[in-house]
Amino acid sequence: MRVLGIETSCDETGLAVVEEGQLIAQELATQGAMHSVFGGVVPELASREHLRVLDPLWQSLLQRTGLAPEDFDVVAVARGPGLLGSLLVGLGFAKGLALATGARLIGVNHLLGHLLAPGLERELCFPSLGVLVSGGHSQLYALNSPTEATMLGSTLDDAAGEAFDKLAKLLNLPYPGGKHIDELGALGVPDPELLPIPYVDNRNLDFSFSGLKTAAAQHIQRHPDLRLPAMPDVDEVTEIGRQRPELSRLCASFNHAVARALCIKAKRALERGPQARQLIVAGGVAANSAVRREMASLAQEMGVELVLPSLSLCTDNAAMVAYTGALFAEAGLGHDLDLEAVPRGRQLPWDYCRFPNAEAS
């Protein structure tokens, strides 16, 4: 079974081919430089850029693989959550291709795609606990199978990745800021007393990072010299960190606070569901070195296997969409052409149709 994956949920345009569970090829165009001028993603610009680059990426993918449009059995597309205009670009392309070729159409939950992405690199075992940490979401999931995910907790306000980007903006670091906070934090030693571990003095499994963001902002107000006078180029950040140890200390402390908050809630979930065989950590913030380190310690403490995707699979990509689509197709699931995009803030419906399974199709 050959699956095309299409990803246009935010500011990455991606196409990928997965065949028999293996990634064959992928194309990716990023908009980071465009949106860095504004310090964040501008939805209207993002959707227009998806529209501009999607067809050239498609032609390049066909040329690289030697495939024709009718060679795909399944067209999988990220249908949400994300920016509505961006999602509609990918969804329209997917529907047109499915209608023209007769391929099965499958709308993929972008968040579940992140959690299943490590399956491209290693075997996933179920049941597992999924920890999804990205720019827009911080969530815990009970994963009973590739198609059965129950959300246990979610962010009540700012997600972890959003908090990283807001701190970077306060410090006048380039966008996207999470990787620069991680880079600077690696040069310093965290001070556990500098910033609070947010929203852990409770019994629930939800997250909140707004208090941490506020604490960091207040610290910068008290120490205005921490804010860089001019935004540096990305290749200058490390040297700046070496020259400004207090800046590295703040970033290290911020990394520590986020990682500890995630681990405390993940441990709580593992204790309440001790049957979990793996701890799967995914999403853009799963690339953070402090998060990876703390999650490794937690997995060892709880006696579960840690699953971390490679760094290239942490960010938005079409490979995870194609792989998730393949798993759903094997389970006999798909969509009709009335599939709708679901923007961030709305719950994705379980509106799959039953089709013949992969072996019978």
Q: What is the pLDDT of residues 46-85, one digit of tens each?
A: 999 999 999 999 999 999 999 999 999 999 999 999 999 9
Is 288 marked as binding a ligand? yes
What amino acid is encoded at 140 in this protein? L
> Where do we find the tokens 């299409």?
6
Return the pLDDT at 357.
63
Give the pLDDT band (50/70/90) at residue 136.
confident
- Are 316 and 86 in contact by the 8 Å Cβ rule? The answer is no
| List of domains in the chain | 2-117+315-354 (3.30.420.40), 125-308 (3.30.420.40)
Is 73 marked as binding a ligand? no
Is 71 marked as binding a ligand? no
Q: Rg of the Cα trace of the chain?
A: 21
Is 110 marked as binding a ligand? yes
Query: If we measure between CA atoms, which residue out of 165, 162, 113 comes closest to residue 7?
Result: 113
> Does 360 have pLDDT greater than 60?
no
Exposed, middle or buried by CB within 10 Å (0-12, 13-18, 19+), for 3? buried
Return the pLDDT at 359.
47
Q: What is the pLDDT averaged over residues 210-227? A: 96
Contacts of 49 (CB under 8 A, 6+ apart): 11, 13, 29, 31, 34
pLDDT > 70 fraction of the chain, expressed in percent and rounded: 98
Estimate to the nearest angstrom the gap between the alpha carbon of 102 and the chain centroid.
Answer: 30
Average pLDDT, the chain: 94
Return the pLDDT at 39.
72
Return the pLDDT at 361.
41
Return the pLDDT at 41.
84
Give the pLDDT band (50/70/90) at residue 192.
very high
Give the pLDDT band (50/70/90) at residue 175.
confident
Alpha helix positions (H), the chain: 32-36, 43-65, 84-101, 110-116, 160-171, 178-185, 210-222, 237-243, 245-272, 289-302, 311-314, 318-330
Return the pLDDT at 250.
98
Contacts of 179 (CB under 8 A, 6+ apart): 287
Give the pLDDT band (50/70/90) at residue 247.
very high
Return the pLDDT at 33.
75
Q: Which of 40-44, 244-248, 270-274, 348-352 has the lowest mean pLDDT?
A: 40-44
Is 316 marked as binding a ligand? yes
Is 165 marked as binding a ligand? yes
Read off the tokens for 237. 């950040």
Length of the chain: 361
C-alpha 111/C-alpha 316 separation (Å) is: 10
Question: According to the per-residue pLDDT averaged within each range, which of 30-44, 56-70, 166-180 is highest?
Answer: 56-70
pLDDT > 90 fraction of the chain, expressed in percent and rounded: 87
C-alpha 92/C-alpha 348 separation (Å) is: 18
Specify the DSSP class assigned to residue 118.
Answer: G
pTM: 0.92
C-alpha 157/C-alpha 208 separation (Å) is: 6
Is 182 marked as binding a ligand? yes
Q: What is the pLDDT averaged over residues 254-258? A: 97
Is 178 marked as binding a ligand? yes
Q: What is the dihedral of CA 329, 333, 338, 343, to 10 degrees?
A: -80
**pLDDT tens digits along 264-320:** 999 999 999 889 999 999 999 999 999 999 999 999 999 999 999 999 899 899 999
Contacts of 81 (CB under 8 A, 6+ apart): 9, 110, 111, 136, 137, 342, 343, 344, 345, 346, 348
- Are 213 and 166 in contact by the 8 Å Cβ rule? The answer is yes
Give the pLDDT band (50/70/90) at residue 358.
very low
